[in-house]
């Protein structure tokens, strides 16, 4: 087995490193977090680098499906700011991967080039006030009348709806008791008449603000059903396919990025901060913290890259992606909190990035399927075999 990074991944990291230093300085990342601001101009420059095409086939203007490169990009951006990395996911993964895998040919020709040029962002409208992990219980309903749909309902924790071009909404399109067999995915413009968006204030993940969304007699063309006629009542298959595996990896990649930043800052601080006549890096308790942090980060990266390799080959890898999401997000939380401990009181104040790492890391074991859900998946999908 060869664990060396391919040349194109090393080149990608170098390009992103220069971009982050130039376009995403620490002071700006702090401002985006404070203001809950999406830096759209930085996002456009990222698109100009060609980073949005990593999930789009060449015939639609992309560079071809490369899940590892996509995860590395998320990782690199996340070590500086989720205000850029989360919208990047909303474009390349939410829009790019779902349209490539589930849409009609006409929808692909229309939408995928917009992913590549940075002009298309999707927000996931899946969960609802009373519906979390049990997505087959969604109550938001779409009624068909000829070539139009009328949509009524509500979505909760719809992150980025206010900056998105479409809400990628899971809706009920048949009898409620049919559950999995009567769901569809519909593209709903946030600017459509009858759509209301309100911000939910959370601890972290600023920039792609978390929102509540309500739909009151919202009308969209039937052409906005993902997959067209064949996609009608076929939404469940679309959300539990390969895209769900990659969604877990997206969150894991964010986790690896935050963990890297937290470890790097703690390591540097330990060799600068002096107490009792020497740097705190001389104390074994600090050395052990840094060693444990580094070990968990290394394990997280290995799991992420292995699972990304499996997903890129379109191999069903639900167990591997669930293990990766579980381990990497819990590791990021541990590493961010340990980094805060190394910084002491300074790790608690907003003048230091460590405080932001903690707020962002605390969310990761919750979103994209909680740690409890991932443990359930790992056991269930392992077929009772170790």
Task: Determine the Cα–Cα distance for residues 348 and 370; give it in Å rounded to an integer.
Answer: 26
The candidate with the shortest Cα–Cα distance to 357, out of 342, 339, 331, is: 339
pLDDT single digits (tens) 354-366: 999 999 999 999 9
Task: Determine the Cα–Cα distance for residues 259 and 75; give it in Å rounded to an integer.
Answer: 10
> How high is the mean pLDDT in each 10-residue block of the chain (386 residues)?
89 97 97 97 96 96 95 98 98 96 96 97 94 88 95 96 97 88 96 96 93 97 96 92 82 98 98 96 98 98 96 89 98 98 95 96 95 94 78
321 three-state secondary structure: helix
* Model pLDDT, residue 166: 98
The candidate with the shortest Cα–Cα distance to 254, out of 122, 74, 383, is: 74
> Dihedrals φ, ψ of 27, to 5°?
-65, -35
The answer to whether residues 7 and 15 touch, using CB atoms and an 8 Å cutoff, is no
Pairing of strands 166-172, 122-125: parallel
* Model pLDDT, residue 243: 67
């Amino acid at each position: 087995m060869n664990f060396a990074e391919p040349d194109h991944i090393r080149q990608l990291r170098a390009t992103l490193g220069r971009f982050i230093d130039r376009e995403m300085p620490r002071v700006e990342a702090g401002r985006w977090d404070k203001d809950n601001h999406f830096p759209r101009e930085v996002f456009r420059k990222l698109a100009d680098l060609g980073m949005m095409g990593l999930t789009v086939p060449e015939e639609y203007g992309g560079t071809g499906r490369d899940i590892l490169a996509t995860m590395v990009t998320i990782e690199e951006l996340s070590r500086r700011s989720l205000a850029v990395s989360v919208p990047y996911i909303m474009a390349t993964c939410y829009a790019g991967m779902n349209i490539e895998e589930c849409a009609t040919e006409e929808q692909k020709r229309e939408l995928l080039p917009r992913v590549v040029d940075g002009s298309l962002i999707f927000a996931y409208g899946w969960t609802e006030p009373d519906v979390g992990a049990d997505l087959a219980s969604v109550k938001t309903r779409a009624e068909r009348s000829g070539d139009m749909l009328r949509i009524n309902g509500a979505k909760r924790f719809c992150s980025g709806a206010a900056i998105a071009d479409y809400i990628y909404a899971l809706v009920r399109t048949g009898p409620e008791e049919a559950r999995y067999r009567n769901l569809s995915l519909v593209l709903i413009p946030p600017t459509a008449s009858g759509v209301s968006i309100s911000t939910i204030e959370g601890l972290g993940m600023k920039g792609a603000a978390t929102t509540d969304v309500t739909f009151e007699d919202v009308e969209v063309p039937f052409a906005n059903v993902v997959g067209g006629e064949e996609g009608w009542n076929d939404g469940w298959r679309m959300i539990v396919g390969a895209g769900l595996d990659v969604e877990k990896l997206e969150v894991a990649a964010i986790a690896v990025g935050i963990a890297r930043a937290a470890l790097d800052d703690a390591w540097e601080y330990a060799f600068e901060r002096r107490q009792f006549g020497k740097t705190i890096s001389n104390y074994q308790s600090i050395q052990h913290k840094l060693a444990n942090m580094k070990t968990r980060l290394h394990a997280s990266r290995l799991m992420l890259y292995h699972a990304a390799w499996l997903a890129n080959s379109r191999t069903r890898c639900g167990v591997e992606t669930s293990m990766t999401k579980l381990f990497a997000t819990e590791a990021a939380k541990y590493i961010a909190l340990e980094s805060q401990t190394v910084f002491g009181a300074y790790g608690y104040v907003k003048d230091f990035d460590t405080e932001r790492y903690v707020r962002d890391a605390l969310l990761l074991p919750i979103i994209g399927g909680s740690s409890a859900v991932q443990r359930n998946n790992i056991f269930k999908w392992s077929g009772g075999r170790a």
